[in-house]
Amino acid sequence: MARRMVDGERMTFREGAGSAWLPLATEPGGSAAAEPGVDDGGMSPAPGVTLPVDLPTLLRELEDAYIRAALAQTHSNKKEAAKLLGLGRTTLVEKLRRRNMASIRQRA
C-alpha cells in the first residue's frame, strides 16, 4: 500500500470510491475516532449532515447547480462550460436535454 506525508500527516492510497489519499486509521493521527467496536471505514458524516438523505436527488441538484454556474461563467458557451466541468460538449447538451433545463438551453 502506497504511503506519503501530507501536511505532516501520514496518508495512504485507498482503492475504490474516488481513489483518494486518506489519513491512515491504524496509525497515530489517523481518522479512527469512532465509537469502540464500530467500524465506519475511517469515515464519519460531516457536522451538520442529517441522515437519511435522498442521495440521487441531492447529487442531481448539485450537478445542476454546477452546470448552471459553468454556463453563467462562460456566458452560455456550452463547449467552454463542458470543458470547465470535465465533460464533453455532447454529454453536457444531453444532460441539459434530459433534465429539461429549458431556460438554460435557450440562452446556451
pLDDT tens across 48-90, in order? Answer: 878 899 999 999 999 999 999 999 999 999 999 999 999 999 9
> Which residue is listed with cell 489519513?
23
pLDDT, one tens digit per residue, over 2-37 is 555 555 555 555 554 444 455 555 545 544 444 556
Spatial separation of the C-alpha atoms in residues 53 and 91, rounded to whole Å: 27
Contact present, 11 and 5 (Cβ < 8 Å): yes
- Report how far residue 39's alpha carbon sits from residue 100's, in angstroms, rounded to the nearest whole number: 42
User: Which secondary structure element, helix H or strand E, spans residue 104, and what is its range?
Assistant: helix 102-107
> What's this model's pTM, rounded to 2 decimal places?
0.52
Confidence of residue 40 (pLDDT cuts 50, 70, 90): low
Percentage of the chain exceeding pLDDT 70? 53
Identify the pLDDT of residue 83: 97
Q: Which domains does the chain have, with CATH numbers?
A: 1-44 (no CATH), 55-107 (1.10.10.60)
Virtual CA dihedral for 41, 58, 64, 72, nearest 10 degrees? Answer: -80
Give the model's confidence band at 39: pLDDT under 50 very low, under 70 low, under 90 confident, else very high. Answer: low
